[in-house]
Structure 1
Amino acid sequence: MSVEGKTSQTAVVCHGGVDLRTETREIPQPKDGEVQIQVAVTGLCGSDLHYYLHGANGIFKIREPLVLGHEAGGIITSIGSNVDKSFGLKIGDKVAMEVGVSCKSCKNCRKGRYNLCKNMKFASSAKTFPHLDGTLREFMTWPAELVYKLPEGLDLSLAALAEPLSVVLHAWRRANLQPGSKVLIIGTGAVGLLACALARASGSTTVIAIDIEQGKLDFSKSQNWSTGIFCLPKGPRVSGLESLEIAEQNWKLLKESNVIQEIEGLEDGFDAVFECTGVETCMQLAPMAAAIGSKVLYVGMGTKVLSLPCGPSLLSEVDLIGVFRYANTYPDALSLLASGKLGNVGAMASHYYSLENAEQAFNDLRRGKDDNGKTVIKPMVGNLSLIGK
């Protein structure tokens, strides 16, 4: 494959809150140890949406125009010099890209926990400066060691799911659960849905999913990823003690619901709770729903300072575990996607958009529905001809 004489490309660039521009940029050429990739598809996630709406994700504010997107797959179009043959990469390969570049030399990198590298540069994140552009563009170059050939049978359109699945897989490893466990998943965005799917595939007998959007819960149940669902009432975004009161009310509603009452012993809590929203009320609910001696996995990000009801949890030896991105997961995540063990994960890719229509994708993600009222699960943006869409 080749760029066919092209020297410029289309890129989707965020300049600030609700200031998304489609721009023409030069096509980069691979340096030593890099490959050039024609990006086929990028899945949009919550952090992309925060940058689009606010020009920031939490405390990380855009300081220069930033190409968004980090959940992606594509096709190798050129290979730079000194790309080790052991990577097994060649022009025309369909690949997924792990988009965090660590320093490799700090203590955490040497211990294999490179997701905690303080010098990590992550594509489409404003945490470091100069920023590292993301994947919402036609072509990019990337270190060959972070590029993974897709397993046989894995559709290129699903390569973008390897990134959110990696987050889930990292959380699942930290939970260290046994088959037969009973888990609660708070939030049924893409990460929460994949957490449900992985829990079921790993032998969890009870997987309860909760959210404020009935459409996403119904989708989870329709895929047999959850054994029970419960829709919480929508409320205002509050914090501190006011948020804690809402969390207590929500736990009471859930505990008294049929979805809990029908399963013996579940009113005493779950073996593990995966919090996948980053919303303070949900983060407060999580330890309330944890059984004695169990674990809470904080997968969702977004609340810097919060009041956690951890007093009772500490007395009950509930482990509160933080989950930040992932490490050493990509090959296993791709294998899982190709294996079929997770079910019809392709159904998560609910909507496809061209790069030129990226802003429509962001707005549909913000609303949670498209113009026809269909629930938006995971918007995919890119070169639709490459994935047959």
Structure 2
Amino acid sequence: MTELPTQALGVVAHGAGDLRVEPFERPEPKPDEAVVEIVYGGICGSDLHYWQHGAAGESILKAPMLLGHEVVGRVAAAAADGNGPQAGTAVAVHPATPGEGDGARYPQDRPNLSPGCTYLGSAARFPHTEGAFARYINLPARMLRELPAGLPLRRAALVEPASVAWHAVSRAGDVKGKRVLVIGAGPIGALIVAVLRSVGAAEIVAVDMHDKPLEIAREVGATRTLHATDAEAIVAVDADVCFESSGNYRGLASAVRGATRGGRVVMVGLLPSGEQPALVSLAITRELELVGSFRFNDEIDDVIAALADGSLQADPVITHEYGAEDALEAFGMARDSASSGKVLLRFGDAE
């Protein structure tokens, strides 16, 4: 067996405005860890926040941290304890590690809400949880999901964000045959549109500030698109279910206004911490249900199957691909929401 390198090119956030592509030292894997050769990594909004602000919400960088949690690749060396996929297996990654934390109560069947849950590439705790934007990375075997033969790794790079979207749609209840409004057509919003189409929503109206995201939304299943400034048209949608995926309080206001009486608003976009303006009186008088949606649980398995069998059509969400050595340029493109959808970093060979 060829010895694997212990040093690999990684994408590391050192602080606000300080993103570096530099060697990342990989430690000896623990018995339950496989070594994964990362092929693709998708740049997430949280990665952009760590780069731009040195923080993502209340998760503040206190030390340099390897970014990245939307990754796919191949097992280079299986876990020594014999668990998980064997070497050569193509895999996606479930980046969460549920944990009891401070012992606060949570529904046991919803581990995404566990108070001690950690996520790859997160500064929520210190020491930080290192991410996976490196050519070779050690990952617990339990995080790995074997990919079906025939599912291209480039498409599989959408597994993690599509799982976030799938979970959000599940929080809406039965949407088959319903009219749905999606506020914010960035990568998560576009993937929500794609999931909605796959589960039979009758009408899907996507809203955004920019033309490119709206174009992508139409390609993946939106039956109609609106500009975010067209307030009257948004109100007129009168949607059974609304998804707020812009992460902006104005988007939440649009979702509340666009919902029908007795409708449901699923809040997916993470608004800044602290108090936010909200149309609470309108939500009360219309008896709207405001529902949060955070990450995902086992939906990842359904997403992998749907991407493999073609029932979830999401390829247009990927708009750009860069070599990992060009991560700074890639992050700049990902920040430009008017010009890009999901931007991928390529660490290894796709074939």
Specify if TM > 0.5. yes
- Structure having the higher Rg: 1
Distance 1:109 1:147 in 2: 25
Amino acid at match of 1:325: R
What is the total number of aligned residue pairs between the two structures? 349
Q: Which residue of 1 aligns with 2:209?
A: 212
Amino acid at match of 2:259: A
Residues 145-200 of structure 1 show CA distances to partners (whole Å, capped at 9, x for unaligned) of 11100022211112221111111111111111241110000111111011111111
Q: Which residue of 1 aligns with 2:292?
A: 322
2:303 aligned with 1:333, yes or no? Answer: yes
Change over 3 Å in CA distance of 1:110–1:196 after alignment to 2: closer
Distance 2:65 2:232 in 1: 43
Structure 2: stretches of 5+ with no match in the other structure? none
2:281 aligned with 1:311, yes or no? Answer: yes
Q: Which residue of 2 aligns with 1:236?
A: none
Q: Which residue of 1 aligns with 2:226?
A: 230
For the 8 Å contact 2:175–2:196, the answer to whether it is kept is no
Give the 3-state SS of the residue equivalent to 2:121 in structure 1.
coil
1:291 deviates by: 1.0
Give the 3-state SS of the residue equivalent to 1:77 in structure 2.
strand
Distance 2:241 2:181 in 1: 7
1:232 deviates by: 2.2
1:266-345 to 2 correspondences below 5 Å: 266=237, 269-304=238-273, 305-343=275-313, 345=314
Distance 1:120 1:39 in 2: 23
Give the 3-state SS of the residue equivalent to 1:350 in structure 2.
strand
1:303 deviates by: 2.4
Distance 1:73 1:194 in 2: 18
Structure ranking higher in helix proportion = 1
Distance 1:310 1:3 in 2: 61
TM-score under structure 2 length normalisation: 0.94
Distance 2:182 2:248 in 1: 13
Q: Which residue of 2 aligns with 1:372?
A: none
Q: Which of 166, 185, 189 is matched with 1:188 structurally?
A: 185
1:53 deviates by: 0.7
Q: Which residue of 1 aligns with 2:24?
A: 25
Amino acid at match of 1:97: V
Q: Which of 96, 109, 119 is matched with 1:100 structurally?
A: 96
Percent identity over the alignment is 30
1:161-180 to 2 correspondences below 5 Å: 161-180=158-177
Structure 1: stretches of 5+ with no match in the other structure? 234-249, 261-265, 370-374
1:227 deviates by: 0.3
For the 8 Å contact 1:104–1:110, the answer to whether it is kept is no
Residues 2-44 of structure 1 show CA distances to partners (whole Å, capped at 9, x for unaligned) of 6645232111110011111122122333212221101111000
For the 8 Å contact 1:83–1:144, the answer to whether it is kept is no
TM-score under structure 1 length normalisation: 0.85
Distance 1:62 1:311 in 2: 37
Distance 1:134 1:5 in 2: 19
Give the 3-state SS of the residue equivalent to 1:294 in structure 2.
strand
Amino acid at match of 1:101: T
